Amino acid sequence: MDLLQLIESGGCSAKLPANELEKALSGLPKNTDKRLLVDIDTHDDAGVYQLTDEIALIQTTDFFPPVCSDPYDFGQVAAANALSDVYAMGGTPINALNIVMFPKKNLSLDILKEILAGGMDKVKESGAVITGGHTITDDVPKYGLAVTGTVHPDRIITNSNAKPGDVLILTKPLGTGVIIAAKKVGEANDALYQKAVTTMKTLNKKAAEIMQEFNVKSATDITGFGLLGHTLKLAEASKVSIRIDSGKVPVIDGVYDLVEAGCVSCVMRRNLEFVEGKAEFSGDLDNNLKMIMLDAITSGGILMAVDESLADKVLQKLHSSGMQDASIIGSVGKGLPRIAV
Ligand code: CO
Ligand code: CO
Ligand code: CO
């Protein structure tokens, strides 16, 4: 059973488009509770709620249709992705709840068992525990988790704290969305597909620990809105301009050729529409690379804004901790919240 054959769009590419979500949220009452340290206003990765002087809770949820063929892999990827929003806030996940949609017939319950086992193993690897969950019937299976983490209130890493002079580091290579789309239509070879699954399964745990070690204050993770969509959100929340050096953006080998061969999804075009009015693309920007930077990713890397004087040390530590593809990909400047590529 190949789970990818059950879906139209899987993983974070199944997200509601960013501008439509903004429309739905606009005009809803604001939350004024002082204990809510990070709310929905800055479109951050998770909400943060102060519990005591020393402890703030980070809360987040992500769930979606399958993003790979094998149910056990899907469970692991979905869990790594849901946990990532806690890591992007600089936190430590403590517990999680399963969110499950599964068809009443036509699909063996063994598949559900495998999905849940994958999720459980990944949550265990993070050091957190699964405390329960909720299941409803639905024609297309969906899986994810609601995750709670903790962080010291003074150590919260937000998307609204990037400062002019910071440099941007991305910890995982781009291209997993392209590979999965290609796999679905039989265009991706097995080695490439396995590379994508391994990349998505990798926790952002060490990246979060390294951010705390070096007192990084601003980050987000790259998911459904693509590198450029999430970079724009970081620029808007931090009220800064951001320049991306496209030649330095890490991309999985073989992805460029897939895009060159026509593997361009409607989600990429949708993400382009989202950034277009606030992005400046240089005349010599390679169009395939541009589309890769708009690719909807599931369980992507951390994009962090690091004080320039620390950037080389942070990068070295990321490399020596197994994130060989981590690269400095751009810089933060003053001015209106825009991105230039
Ligand atoms: Co996120
Ligand atoms: Co999320
Ligand atoms: Co964040």
Whether 325 shows a pLDDT value over 90: the answer reads: yes
240-249 confidence digits (pLDDT tens): 999 999 999 9
152-191 confidence digits (pLDDT tens): 999 999 999 999 999 999 999 999 999 999 999 899 999 9
Q: What is the mean pLDDT of residues 304-322?
A: 98
β-pairing, 241-244 with 302-307?
unpaired
Whether 287 shows a pLDDT value over 80: the answer reads: yes
Q: What is the mean pLDDT of residues 142-149?
A: 98
State the ligand closest to the CA atom of 62: 2
The pLDDT of residue 158: 96
Distance CA 61, CA 53 (A): 25
Whether 263 shows a pLDDT value over 90: the answer reads: no
Task: Kindly tell me the burial class for residue 95, based on how many C-beta atoms sit within 10 Å of its own C-beta (0-12, 13-18, 19 or more).
Answer: middle
Q: Cα of 87 to ligand 1 centre, how many Å?
A: 9
What is the rounded average pLDDT for all residues in the chain? Answer: 95
pTM of the model: 0.95
200-229 confidence digits (pLDDT tens): 999 999 999 999 999 999 999 999 999 999
Written as six digits, the tokens of 110 are 């063994």
Q: Which of 19-33, 55-69, 76-90 has the lowest mean pLDDT?
A: 19-33
Ligand 3 ion: Cβ-proximal residues, 5 Å cutoff: 44-45, 88-89, 159, 220
Annotation marks residue 263 as catalytic: no
State the ligand closest to the CA atom of 64: 2
Q: Cα of 85 to ligand 1 centre, how many Å?
A: 5
State the ligand closest to the CA atom of 220: 3
The pLDDT of residue 13: 76
Chain centre distance of CA 126: 16
Whether 83 shows a pLDDT value over 80: the answer reads: yes
The pLDDT of residue 56: 98
Q: Cα of 60 to ligand 2 centre, how many Å?
A: 7
